[in-house]
Structure formats: C-alpha cells, structure tokens
C-alpha cells in the first residue's frame, strides 16, 4: 500500500507533509509502539476484532472474539477463515471485501458494513455485522475486521415485524387507525403503513401529505369548533384527550369517529407533535367472528413484551471510545457530534479534553462549518491552522489543528468525530489508521443505538395501539347496546379502585382491568331481539341472556394473552349463596376478582337508566347492595364498597 494509506482521495494533498515526516520517523521502535497501541485498543473492545494477514490467515484475535466465537486465540491463530462462516458463500462475501488489501497500492474502500452468517465453535449460527479496514504492523499490511453479534437485534426486529402485520390486520378489522402529527412540519402521517386511517378519512393518496388544516376541513362543520378547542387544550399542556366527532367525506357521507390522542414532547419538554388513534364507530355490526379474529391478534401483544431490553446507551459507549482515543492517540480534545436526521443538525453528544463546557452547545447544520462540511462531503477534513476559524465556543481553548472524520455506517452519515490539537498535528499513516478504526467503531455503535431507539419507540407505539383496540371492542358493544353506554369504562375504573382498597397486587390489577373491559364481551353473541328488548325478558330469553358468560369464556380461552383475564367475564354473575350462574358455585369458590367486580357491575346497572325502569338513586343502590351482603355478594367486598363513594 503506498501513498494515501487509509485516507480518502479528497485530502491526499493535505497529507503530503505528513508522508515525509512519517518516513523520517519510521523505525522499529515506533512500529512496536503502534502495535502496543493497537492491542490496547483491541483488547478492551466490546466487538470481536480479528486481523488477517496477506495470506488470509488469522494474525490477531481479541478477547471479545473468543467470547463471540468460542475459540481461544491459540486455536485459530495462523488458520484460515472458512470455519468462522456458515457457508462458503458467506465466507466468499467476506473475502470479496478482503481483496482490496492484496494489491499493493490500492486504497481500501470507504468502510462498508457487511452482514454475514457466522458460526461458533459449538456449531451455532448467528448473524454478524462487520467492517474491514487496514493496518500496517511491522511493515506488513493486515486487514482488520470488527465484528458484532446482532442475533438479539435481528430477533427483536423479526418479532416486531410480525406484530406490526398483526396490528395492521387487527386495526383494519376493528376500523382503528393510528396517526402522528408532526407539528414542526405540519404533517400528519399514519404509523406503520396503517391504511385504515386513510380509509376512514377517505384520503386516497397514500403518498401525499396531510396537514392539520386538511384534517380539520374533513371534520363536520358542527363539530369543528369543539374538535379544535380540544386539540388546542391538549397543545397548551392539558391531559390526553378522548373525543367523538363526525367527519364528512368527499361524497358528503358522514362518519362517526372516536379519537384518542396525546402530545409528544422532545427532550427539552417542548411539544413537537401529537399521536393517537382514530376509531371508525359508524358501522356497529361487527360479528362474533370478527371479534374472535381480533382476539387472536392480541396474542401478538404478549410477544411484544420482548427482548428489546438491551437498549444501548450511546453516550456511555462514546465516552469510553473518546477516552481510549485521547489517551492512546495522544489527542488533546475530541468530541462526537450526532446527526439529527430530521433537522439535519449535528449536535454535541460526547466530548473529552475541553477546558470549558461551551462545546456542549455545538449545533451545526449539515454542510456548514468544518464538521458539517466533512459530514456533507463524506470525507475527512484536516485543518492544520485553525486560527481565525474557531467558533466562539472554542475561542479560549487555543486549538491549533483539527480533524473532522465523518462517521458512516450502512452507507449513512451518523455523525462526525472531531479531533482538536493545541499544537500542530503530524499524523502518521498508523495514527490515521487507528483513528479510522475508532471512527468505524463509533459509527457502528451510533447506528446500532439509533436502531434500538427506533425499535423501542415502535414497540411502545404498538402496545398503545393494542390497548386502544381493546378499549375499542368495549365501545363497539356499548354502541350496539345503547343503554350501557359509558358503563364499561366506569365499572373498570371503579373495580380497580375497589380492588386496590382490598389490597390486590399490581400484577393482578392488570388482569382485573382487562377482565372488566371485556366482562360482557359474550353479549356479542346475543341476538338483538333479546339484547335490545324494551321490556322485561321472558324466562326463555333470560336463559339465553345468561349464556353471555359462557360465550365469553369460550371466546377468551383461545387467547393465551387474555386467558388470565377470564375470571371476571366468566364468573361475574355467580352469587355468594350459590344461586348465580353459569355454574352456581358459592363463597370463596368464586374467583376473588369476580366477587369484587359483581358488586360494581350491579351497582352501576342500578344507578343507570334501563328501558324497562328508571335509574335508581345512589342512596337506594347502596342500601340494596348492603342488603345483599352475604347473600348475593362477598361480605368483605360489600364492607369495602360501602366505604367507597360513587363517582360518575
Ligand atoms: P345489566 O343490565 O348490565 O345488569 C347487570 C346485573 O345488575 C343484572 O344481572 C342484575 O344482577 C343487576 N340488575 C340490573 N338491573 C336490575 C334491576 O332492575 N333490579 C335488580 N334487582 N337487579 C338489577 P342479570 O339479572 O343476570 O342480567 C344480566 C343482563 O341481562 C343485564 O345486564 C341486562 O343486559 C339483561 N337483562 C336482565 N334483565 C333484563 C330485562 O328485564 N330486560 C332486558 N331488556 N334486559 C335484561
Ligand atoms: C387525525 O385524526 O388523523 C389527525 C388528528 C389531529 O391532527 O389531531
Ligand atoms: C467554519 O468552519 O466556518 C467555522 C469553523 C469553526 O467553528 O471552527
Ligand atoms: C465545533 O465543534 O464547534 C465546530 C468545529 C468545526 O466545525 O470546525
Ligand atoms: Fe354481565
């Protein structure tokens, strides 16, 4: 390898002086020192680092490589690469990249991230991401590969993709869409390609952007003021909202929707957007079969409570990296600026060696300033005389020379590594190679952290959408049975309060919540003639009505995720004295959650108006419940209930 070493073509002219000085300094001693330096870096690295000599045999194997592959260094030194890859095609993909190190004089390609399937000593296959750069030691060139095991991330990605597909299907069936409104750019988008929101609003162009004004125009004129006020209130910092309103489509047909939304804030707490769900409640004819399919999709939720646990704290990683860089490469100060892909600003993320903290406010636009230029042109930039070109933030630091290295992973600029020196810089080829190596590590780390972040955000979003879907079913039922409107939410909240008073554990409360939301889900199978009857039921009709508990059990039993929530839907009409249904079990044989819930369910039914009777006053209802203590209801639950005030 001749001139230029690892520098990219653009700054060849700038390296001329250093080439000469490098020649002068070239001695056994400095080469040994650089080998020490390399080993210092490599030994402590998180990623596997493997060096290959010109004969394609392994010439260096760090501790992380031992951990990742399961081979000790002495087992692989001097051997070829084939054993490390799952197939000869995979090995060939790797060797393809290595070729660049064989022809003397050829400059290594800018770093490229490869994904290949590797194999451990015990035969386990796993995916790795790797980059290759070059390093000269004792006068010989070696290819240096940095490899990262990405098994966990790949699994998380696969799982999320499956969940996403399930969610889109569940949302289509339930007519629920999720949306996100970016206030800064006034753009409303629909998450994970959810086509349902487009259908609901009757927007046709999936690519076209929808603004807040477009949305507002589609709201029914009589509802527009109320919708606008609600959104304004949310934007001025009030609680998440929940609103029913109408929208008018192009063909002038009217749809009823239920929207739930909350604001999104950036790190500094400024409101930058809103996100929420929109539920088309126009058609209330969902069938049992539809519900069954939705419930099946809910199993995906349990799959989401997964393994994206290993979120990487990028700042910690970068600090470790900068510490190594400043000590091993004897650099006065260095920092990493991260590219914000939305605003295209490079922002300070981590730094070391600065005497003032002003550098932390660094904020430069892509293409502007030295760092912005290096990132924009994707080329390292070297400034030997900084005088007169320092930002205010760096005036007092007396820096003389500067290098900006763009951090590129998967072909995308992730940020910039900046090096500041108080004296002039005389980088040797080796020194630049180390710098490239570290920049490569930093780029991969940033890329991975960004991916974890977006995966995590995505998982949260999916979970929220599933919750909204669950609540959506409750409403679907209520719209069919107009008289129980609001009943589901009210009894859910009251049951949670009473359960807490009775000392129920938090882990149980999750099941109480789901069970209460779904308590009358079985009524979906009861014919309208009975469910909507404006008068007392005949004994035969009542028999059919009582089946709603059994229908609920059958429906939920097939869904692993909802099985623990079955107690309330199945047992909420059992009685303490054994005179209830469907099984007629008594006392403590009745699941506790169902004993608590039944008190609330009956109280709420009595306090509400029914087609066949007036609403009861709260006072009369409390007396009725008290009279059924130890008869219909668990005495201890009634005691706690009587201490609780009824809230509408
Ligand atoms: P729901 O209306 O939500 O009532 C839940 C439970 O509250 C009832 O369970 C019952 O224990 C109690 N409850 C409700 N209204 C009254 C009342 O006026 N007097 C008394 N003493 N208790 C009351 P239940 O009886 O097993 O009924 C289950 C469901 O069957 C009810 O749910 C309702 O949807 C339907 N249902 C029951 N009776 C009638 C009726 O006479 N006409 C109609 N149209 N539906 C009825
Ligand atoms: C929407 O429902 O699609 C947007 C609602 C909003 O911007 O508040
Ligand atoms: C610039 O590159 O134009 C600004 C330089 C600096 O802030 O160092
Ligand atoms: C900075 O880090 O403050 C900007 C330095 C530069 O772009 O030269
Ligand atoms: Fe019921």
pLDDT digits over 215-246, tens only? 899 899 999 999 999 999 988 876 778 888 88
Give the number of C-alpha atoms closer than 13 A to the C-alpha of residue 249, restricted to the C-beta side: 16
Give me the CATH number covering residue 424: 3.30.450.40
Other CB atoms within 10 Å distance of the CB of residue 406: 24
Residue whose CA is closest, atom 2 of ligand 4? 362
Residues 75 and 14 in one domain: no
Extract long-range pairs of 53-58: CB within 8 Å, 24+ residues apart.
53/140, 53/142, 54/101, 54/102, 54/140, 54/141, 54/142, 56/80, 56/81, 56/95, 56/98
**Hey, what are 597's tokens?**
């819930």
Residue 164 domain-assigned (yes or no): no
Average pLDDT estimate for 27-40: 64
Span from the CA of 490 to the centroid of ligand 2 (angstroms): 26
- Which listed ligand is nearest to 609 at the C-alpha? 1
**Hey, what are 551's tokens?**
């229908």
**Hey, what are 338's tokens?**
């991260």
How many domains does the chain divide into? 5
119 DSSP β-pair partners: 125
Give me the CATH number covering residue 623: 1.10.3210.10
348 DSSP β-pair partners: 337
Q: What are phi and psi for residue 338, nearest 5 degrees? A: -100, 140
| SS3 of 20-79 | HHHHHHCCHHHHHHHHHHHHHHHHCCCCEEEEECCCCCEEEECHHHHHHHCCCHHHHCCC
Query: In terms of pLDDT, which residue wins out, 486 or 276?
Result: 276
Residues 449 and 303 in one domain: yes
- Nearest-angstrom CA–CA distance, 386 and 388: 6
Identify the band that residue 306 occupies on the pLDDT scale cut at 50, 70 and 90.
very low
Q: CA torsion 191→196→202→205, rounded to 10°?
A: 50
Residues 516 and 623 in one domain: yes
73-109 burial, b at 16+ Cβ within 10 Å, e below that, comes to eeebeeeebeebbbeeebbeebeebbeebeeeeebbe
pLDDT digits (tens, 9 = 90+) for 69-112: 999 999 999 998 888 998 888 888 888 777 765 554 444 444 56
- Sign of the torsion formed by the C-alpha atoms of 201, 204, 208 and 213: negative
Residues 496 and 582 in one domain: yes
Residues 58 and 28 in one domain: no
- Ligand 3 in contact with 383 (CB < 6 A)? no
**Residue where one domain finishes, among candidates 255, 280, 305:** 280
Residue 299 domain-assigned (yes or no): yes
Q: What are phi and psi for residue 134, nearest 5 degrees? A: -125, 155
Residues 395 and 534 in one domain: no
Mean pLDDT score across all residues of the chain: 78
* Run of H or E residues at 264: strand 254-265
Span from the CA of 269 to the centroid of ligand 3 (angstroms): 30
Query: Which pLDDT score is estimated for 2?
Result: 34
Residues 206 and 117 in one domain: no
Query: Which pLDDT score is estimated for 297?
Result: 44
CB neighbour class for 608 (10 Å; exposed up to 12, middle 13-18, buried from 19): middle
Instruction: Using most ligand atoms within 8 A of CB, pick from 261, 273, 275 the residue to mutate for ligand 2.
Output: 261
Query: Which pLDDT score is estimated for 494?
Result: 95
pLDDT digits (tens, 9 = 90+) for 548-577: 999 888 877 766 667 788 999 999 999 999
- Ligand 2 in contact with 188 (CB < 6 A)? yes
Residue 569 domain-assigned (yes or no): yes
Please compute Rg for the chain using Cα positions. Answer: 33
- Nearest-angstrom CA–CA distance, 181 and 275: 6
pTM check: above 0.75? no
Report how far apart, in Å, the C-alpha atoms of 503 and of each of 4, 490, 496, 560 are.
Answer: 72, 20, 11, 26
Span from the CA of 289 to the centroid of ligand 5 (angstroms): 20
Residue 159 domain-assigned (yes or no): no
- Nearest-angstrom CA–CA distance, 312 and 444: 12
- Ligand 2 in contact with 622 (CB < 6 A)? no
CB neighbour class for 503 (10 Å; exposed up to 12, middle 13-18, buried from 19): exposed
**Residue where one domain finishes, among candidates 97, 116, 149:** 149
Residues 131 and 233 in one domain: no
**Hey, what are 73's tokens?**
């260094």
Which residue from 166, 151, 199 is spatially nearest to 463, judged by alpha carbons? 166
Residue 505 domain-assigned (yes or no): yes
In angstroms, the first-to-last Cα distance of the chain is 80
Query: Which pLDDT score is estimated for 384?
Result: 85
**Looking at ligand 4, which atom is closest to the CA of residue 372?**
7
**Hey, what are 287's tokens?**
């069938």
Residue 161 domain-assigned (yes or no): no
Span from the CA of 183 to the centroid of ligand 4 (angstroms): 30
**Residue where one domain finishes, among candidates 257, 280, 303:** 280
Residue 422 domain-assigned (yes or no): yes
Query: In terms of pLDDT, which residue wins out, 124 or 528?
Result: 124
Residues 98 and 75 in one domain: yes
3-state helix, strand, coil in the chain (%, to 5): 50, 20, 30
DSSP H helices, 342-428, are 369-377
Give me the CATH number covering residue 199: 3.30.450.20
Highest mean pLDDT among 18-32, 398-412, 470-484: 398-412
pLDDT digits (tens, 9 = 90+) for 599-627: 999 999 999 888 778 999 999 999 999 99
Residue 443 domain-assigned (yes or no): yes
pLDDT digits (tens, 9 = 90+) for 132-186: 777 766 667 778 888 888 887 777 777 667 666 666 665 665 567 778 888 888 8
- Sign of the torsion formed by the C-alpha atoms of 567, 568, 570 and 576: positive
Span from the CA of 221 to the centroid of ligand 2 (angstroms): 15
Put the strands of the sheet holding 254-265 in their side by side order: 187-190, 176-182, 271-280, 254-265, 241-248
CA of residue 235 relative to chain centroid, distance: 24
Residues 175 and 144 in one domain: no
**Hey, what are 220's tokens?**
């029914």
Which single residue is written with the structure tokens 């590590």? 441
Residues 33 and 133 in one domain: no
Residues 491 and 607 in one domain: yes
Identify the band that residue 189 occupies on the pLDDT scale cut at 50, 70 and 90.
confident
Q: Identify whether the C-beta of residue 427 lies closer than 8 Å to the C-beta of residue 276.
A: no
Query: Which residues form the domain of 439?
Result: 289-454
- Ligand 4 in contact with 258 (CB < 6 A)? no
Span from the CA of 383 to the centroid of ligand 4 (angstroms): 11
Instruction: Using most ligand atoms within 8 A of CB, pick from 220, 227, 276 the residue to mutate for ligand 2.
Output: 276
């Amino acid at each position: 390898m001749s001139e230029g070493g690892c520098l990219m073509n653009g700054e060849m002219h700038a390296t001329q002086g250093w080439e000469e000085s490098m020649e002068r300094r070239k001695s056994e001693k400095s080469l040994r020192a650089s080998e020490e330096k390399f080993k210092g870096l490599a030994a402590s690295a998180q990623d596997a680092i493997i060096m290959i000599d010109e004969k394609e045999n392994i010439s260096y194997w760090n501790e992380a490589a031992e951990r990742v592959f399961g081979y000790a260094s002495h087992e692989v030194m001097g051997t070829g690469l084939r054993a490390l890859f799952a197939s000869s095609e995979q090995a060939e993909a790797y060797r393809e990249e290595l070729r660049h190190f064989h022809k003397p004089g050829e400059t290594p390609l800018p770093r490229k991230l490869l994904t290949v399937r590797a194999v451990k000593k015990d035969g386990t296959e796993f995916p790795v991401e790797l980059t290759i750069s070059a390093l000269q030691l004792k006068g010989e060139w070696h290819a240096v590969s940095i490899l990262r095991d990405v098994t966990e991330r790949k699994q998380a990605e696969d799982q999320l993709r499956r969940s996403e597909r399930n969610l889109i299907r569940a949302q289509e069936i339930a007519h629920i869409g999720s949306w996100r409104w970016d206030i800064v750019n006034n753009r409303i988008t629909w998450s994970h390609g959810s086509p349902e929101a487009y259908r609901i609003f009757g927007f046709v162009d999936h690519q076209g952007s929808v603004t807040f004004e477009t949305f507002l125009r589609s709201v029914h004129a009589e509802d527009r003021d109320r919708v606008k006020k609600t959104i304004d209130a949310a934007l001025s910092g009030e609680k998440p909202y929940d609103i029913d309103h109408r929208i008018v489509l192009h063909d002038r047909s009217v749809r009823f929707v239920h929207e739930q939304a909350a604001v999104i804030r950036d790190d500094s707490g400024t409101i930058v957007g809103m996100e929420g769900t929109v539920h088309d409640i126009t058609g209330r004819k969902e069938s049992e079969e539809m519900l069954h399919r939705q419930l099946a999709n809910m199993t995906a939720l349990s799959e989401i409570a997964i393994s994206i646990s290993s979120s990487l704290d990028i700042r910690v990683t970068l600090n470790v990296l900068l510490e190594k860089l400043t000590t091993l490469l004897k650099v006065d100060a260095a920092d990493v600026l991260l590219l914000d892909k939305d605003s295209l600003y490079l922002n300070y993320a981590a730094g070391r060696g600065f005497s003032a903290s002003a550098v932390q406010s660094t904020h430069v636009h892509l293409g502007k300033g030295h760092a912005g230029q290096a990132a924009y042109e994707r080329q390292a930039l070297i400034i030997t005389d900084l005088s007169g070109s320092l930002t205010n933030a760096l005036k007092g630091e007396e820096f003389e020379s500067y290098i900006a290295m763009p951090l590129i992973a998967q072909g995308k600029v992730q940020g910039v590594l900046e090096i500041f020196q108080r004296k002039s810089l005389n980088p040797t080829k080796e020194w630049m190679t180390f710098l490239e190596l570290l920049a490569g590590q930093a780029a991969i780390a940033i890329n991975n952290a960004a991916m974890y972040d977006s995966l995590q955000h995505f998982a949260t979003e999916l979970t929220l959408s599933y919750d909204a879907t669950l609540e959506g079913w409750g409403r679907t039922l209520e719209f069919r049975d107009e008289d129980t409107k609001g009943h589901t939410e009210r009894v859910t909240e009251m049951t949670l309060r009473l359960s807490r008073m009775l000392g129920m554990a938090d882990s149980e409360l999750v099941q109480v919540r789901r069970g209460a939301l779904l308590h009358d889900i079985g009524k979906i199978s009861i014919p309208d003639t009975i469910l909507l009857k404006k008068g007392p039921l005949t004994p035969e009709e009542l028999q059919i009505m009582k089946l709603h508990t059994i229908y609920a059990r059958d429906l939920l039993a097939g869904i692993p995720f909802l099985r623990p929530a079955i107690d309330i839907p199945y047992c909420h009409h059992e009685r303490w004295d054994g005179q209830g249904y469907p099984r007629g079990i008594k006392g403590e044989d009745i699941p506790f959650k169902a004993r608590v819930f039944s008190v609330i369910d009956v109280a709420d039914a009595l306090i509400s108006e029914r087609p066949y009777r007036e609403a009861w006053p709260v006072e009369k209802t409390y007396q009725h419940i008290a009279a059924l203590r130890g008869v219909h209801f668990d005495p201890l639950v009634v005691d706690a209930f009587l201490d609780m005030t009824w809230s509408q």
